[in-house]
Structure 1
């Protein structure tokens, strides 16, 4: 009986200790997630409180190893070099915790709302147009040379640059080929680059597609070196 009680007591003790270790681990990861969110808020122009989730267990072992296996971050919005983006999602693997801070694999997704793209088009082409989502394209509406303009804009990514192409053009009552637009307008509104700057070095755009809220862009980088926090 004594041996059995001793064994039972040992098991119970181990369970309690293990439970305490789990609690301590979860508390530590919660503190780390909150601190990471604070740093994001301090360093970047974000909307709302960002969410940071550190995956993997135990966290303390990862901390001792100075590398996090898997980290997700999300923000309602962010402004990068004057361009607003919404619904920002970041997935990072192999995140180093000592300088130089590196990320083995980083993936970023964000939505560029029509209002952001309107400002870019105005800066790049001088056109004052209103953009709305129209299926898998953006519909540009405005006035050119005193005539109503309606055109479909199709985003794409080429060599890491977001470009917007013009298609399905109507000027007044006439439908035109892009090459036939007056005043060299066709050339001005084809392959228009949309600057998406402020990404970490090594992270480049990979794709773009029209979604109900605007243009969803994706970017990816490997062995990315992050700037040190001030």
Structure 2
């Protein structure tokens, strides 16, 4: 009898654990979003059920949506990684291909900005969503190894890293006096090239592998 009661208690306990486990899974599923939800929210939603514009000619083709993903995009003056482009209300005809709305997210590698700066520059991510530039500059008749950390902003459609702290080593008074001289050598002002004209840089975030840029535009010509 004792053994039977113990067996019944064990079966009941196991059943309760299973019920709790299922309940937790259901709650987790209901309270959370899929891993790709953040990415989907940043890009336009599919225009299912959209209607073509009035006056579409016989020699034109209309697409409600166009979605493109590319690991790397290289042009004569640009290198971009992890590119995602979503176009909406696209018309193709004798005059070319035009997107009524176009959104592009792409990563500008740190190496691209470092090459622009020259001086053996290194660009990397820093704490607090900032970026660090390390390079050699010539100032006051000497070569100095400068480390500058600054915030990342969008100014006049450009990716800009404005130094907030500049360290050249040595005494503090020397660093303070020289900082104003070398500031322009460690300030980044970058135009994202290689993408269709009409796209405007809206936001930039620092990632481990580069600057994640979000560009948006209307009536964007996708072909020359």
TM-score (norm 1): 0.62
Q: 2:169 — aligned with what? A: 172
- Structure-2 change in CA distance of 1:208 and 1:174 (3 Å): farther
Matches of 1:194 and 1:186 in 2, distance apart? 16
Q: Decide which of 72, 77, 81 is 2:72's aligned counterpart.
A: 77
Counterpart check, 1:108 vs 2:118: no
**Partner residue in 1 for 2:205:** 209
Determine if the alignment matches structure 1 residue 163 to structure 2 residue 160: yes
Distance (whole Å) between structure 1 residues aligned to residue 173 and residue 63 of structure 2? 55
Among 181, 184, 206, which residue is 1:187 paired with?
Answer: 184
Q: Tell me what 1:130 maps to.
A: 122
Task: Please tell me whether Structure 1 or Structure 2 has the larger radius of gyration of its CA atoms.
Answer: 2
User: What displacement does 1:139 show?
Assistant: 1.9
Paired with 1:162 and 1:72, the residues of 2 have a C-alpha distance of 25
The offset of 1:208, in angstroms, is 1.0
Aligned pairs (5 A) from 1:89-108: 89-100=84-95, 101-108=97-104
Unaligned 5+ segments in structure 2 are 1-45, 51-57
Q: Residue 87 of structure 1: CA displacement? A: 0.4
Number of residues paired by the alignment? 166
Partner of 1:39: none
Distance 1:187 1:215, change over 3 A: same
Relative distance call for 1:108 and 1:86 in structure 2 (3 A) is: same
Query: Runs in 1 of length 4+ with deviation above 4 angstroms?
Result: 54-58, 174-179
* Structure 1 gap segments, 5+ residues each: 1-53, 59-63
